[in-house]
Structure 1
Amino acid sequence: MIAGSTFASARPGAPGITQRTVLPTFNPNAPSCHAPAGLTKVLAYVQENDRDFLQGVDHGLAMAAKDRRLEYRRVLAENDVGKAIAQVQSFVAAKVGAMVATSPDPEAFSPSLKQAIWSGAFVGTIVPPPATLLLNAPQYRTGKVLTDAAIDHINTKFGGKAKVVLLTQDTMEFLAPRFAAMRDGLNAIPGVTIVADIAPKPVTKEGGFATMKTILLANPDVDVVLGADAVVLGALEALRAAGKDRPDQFLGGIDGEAEAVAEIKKGNSPYKASISLSSPVFGYAMGQFAADWLEGKSIPQAMDILPIALTTANLAQYEADLVDPASVYADPSRRDAYLKMYGNICYDSRDSYLNFPWSSEQK
Structure 2
Amino acid sequence: MACLSSAAFAAGSEGLTTPVKLPAYDAARPACKAPAGLNRTLVFVQDNRREFMQGAGRGLEAAARARGLAYSVAFANNDPALMIKQVGGIASDKTGAMVVAPIDPPSLAPALKKVIAAGAYVGAIVPPPATTVLNAPQYLTGKVLAEAAANYIRTRLGGKAKVVLLTHDSLQFLAPRFTAMRDTLRTMPGVTIVADISPSTVDKEGGYRTMKTIMLAQPNVDVVLGADTVVLGALAALREAGKARADQFLGGIDGEQEAVVEIKRGGSPYKASISLASPIFGYAMGQHAADWLDGKSIPQAMDILPRALTSSNIADYERDTANPGAVYADPARRASYLKMYGNICFDTRDNYINFPWSSETK
Q: Which position in structure 1 is the counterpart of 2:69?
A: 70
The answer to whether residue 322 in structure 2 is matched with residue 327 in structure 1 is no
Shift of 1:8: 3.5
The yes-or-no answer on 1:223 pairing with 2:222 is yes
Runs (4 or more) in structure 1 with deviation over 4 Å come to none
Is the 8 Å Cα contact of residues 99 and 122 (structure 2) preserved in structure 1?
yes
User: Cα distance, 1:7 vs. partner?
Assistant: 6.4
Q: What is the CA-CA distance between 1:308 and the residue it aligns to?
A: 0.8
Note the 1:101-120 alignment, pairs <5 A. 101-120=100-119
Deviations 1:146-189 (A, max 9, x none): 00000000001111110000000000000000000000000110
1:17-166 matches, within 5 Å, as 17-166=16-165
8 A contact 1:18–1:355 mirrored in 2? yes
The residue type paired with residue 89 of structure 2 is S
Distance 2:115 2:16 in 1: 16
Q: Which amino acid aligns with 1:49?
A: N
Structure 2 portions without partners, runs of 5+: none
- 1:73 positional shift: 1.2
In structure 1, runs of 5+ residues without a counterpart are: none
**Aligned letter for 2:359?**
S
Give me the whole-angstrom Cα distance separating, in 2, the residues matched to 1:11 and 1:244: 57
SS at 2:229 equivalent: helix
CA shift, 1:209, in A, is 0.3
Name the SS of the counterpart of 2:86 in structure 1: helix
Matches within 5 A, 1:152-301: 152-301=151-300
Q: Which amino acid aligns with 2:347?
A: D
TM-score calculated relative to the size of structure 1 = 0.98
Q: Equivalents in 2 of 1:102, 1:331: separation in Å?
A: 27
| C-alpha deviation, 1:271, in angstroms | 0.1
Q: What is the CA–CA distance in structure 2 between the aligned matches of 1:239 and 1:87, rounded to whole Å? A: 37
Report the equivalent of 1:11.
Answer: 9
Deviation at residue 112 of structure 1 after TM alignment: 0.6
- Contact kept, 8 Å, 1:79 with 1:103, in 2: the verdict is no
Q: Is the 8 A contact 2:44 2:100 kept in 1?
A: yes
Q: Compute the displacement of 1:320 (Å).
A: 1.0
Letter in 1 for 2:9: R
Matched-pair contact (CA < 8 Å) for 2:102–2:125: no
Between stretches 93-102 and 6-15, larger displacement belongs to 6-15
Contact 1:5 1:348 in 2 (8 A): no
Distance (whole Å) between structure 2 residues aligned to residue 166 and residue 62 of structure 1? 34
SS at match of 2:173: helix
What is the percentage of aligned positions where both structures have the same residue?
63
| Paired amino acid for 1:182 | M
SS of match in other structure, 1:174: coil
What is the CA–CA distance in structure 1 between the aligned matches of 2:281 and 2:2, rounded to whole Å? 28
- 1:66-123 superposed Cα distances (whole Å, 9 cap, x missing partner): 0000010111100001111111111111110100011221111111111100000000
Alignment match, 2:313: 314
